[in-house]
Structure 1
Amino acid sequence: MTDFPNKEAQQKLLIELAHAKMPFGKYEGSYLVNLPERYLIWYRQKGFPKGKLGKQMEQMLDIKINGLEPMIRNIQRHFQKQ
């Protein structure tokens, strides 16, 4: 048995990630997808925040590195935050 979420749970997580915003700092209120890649890389080197925000920031960096930002922007446009 794997620990991977089912398809519906994965979709929910992606929608949540697409609508996630930075809660503090220079980019407070910005969608994570709008954070500069260099800022996320700096956080990776420094250490992402603990908890959900840190996981989302790490996921967003992976998305940006792999050129998948358009997918996240498409999700923002077509799926309401749940």
Structure 2
Amino acid sequence: MNPEHLELLVTRVMPYGKYKGRLIADLPGHYLNWFASQGFPPGEIGRLLALMHEIDHNGLKSLIEPLRKR
């Protein structure tokens, strides 16, 4: 897991869809699960959504909490 990618989760916002404007780290689990079942979009946003899905699915949100305080 790349530390820079974790940092992006708390700085990048969702560029489209129902949760447009919300931080990737703040997307609800059901939304991330939907992407996982339908396929993640290409590019950086897809990689970040996939990473956030793994973090959320495995109960590892505590990994990104310290990054929010920066």
Band the TM-score falls in, shorter-chain normalisation: 0.7 to 0.9
Alignment size in residue pairs = 70
Deviation at 1:73, TM superposition (A): 2.4
- 5+ residue gaps, structure 1, are none
Q: Which of the pair has more CA radius of gyration?
A: 1
Aligned Cα root-mean-square deviation (Å):
1.6
User: Which structure has more RCO (C-alpha within 8 Å, separation ≥ 6)?
Assistant: 1
Match among 10, 19, 28 for residue 20 of structure 2: 28
Give the Cα separation in 1 of the matches to 2:21 and 2:35. Answer: 17
Q: Which runs of 4+ in 1 moved over 4 A?
A: none
Whether 1:13 aligns to 2:9 is no
Give the Cα separation in 2 of the matches to 1:13 and 1:44. Answer: 18
Letter in 2 for 1:17: L
Residue 37 of structure 1 corresponds to which residue in structure 2? Answer: 29
Deviation at 1:19, TM superposition (A): 1.4
Identity among equivalent positions (%) equals 34
- 5+ residue gaps, structure 2, are none
Higher mean C-alpha deviation, range 15-24 or range 53-62: 15-24
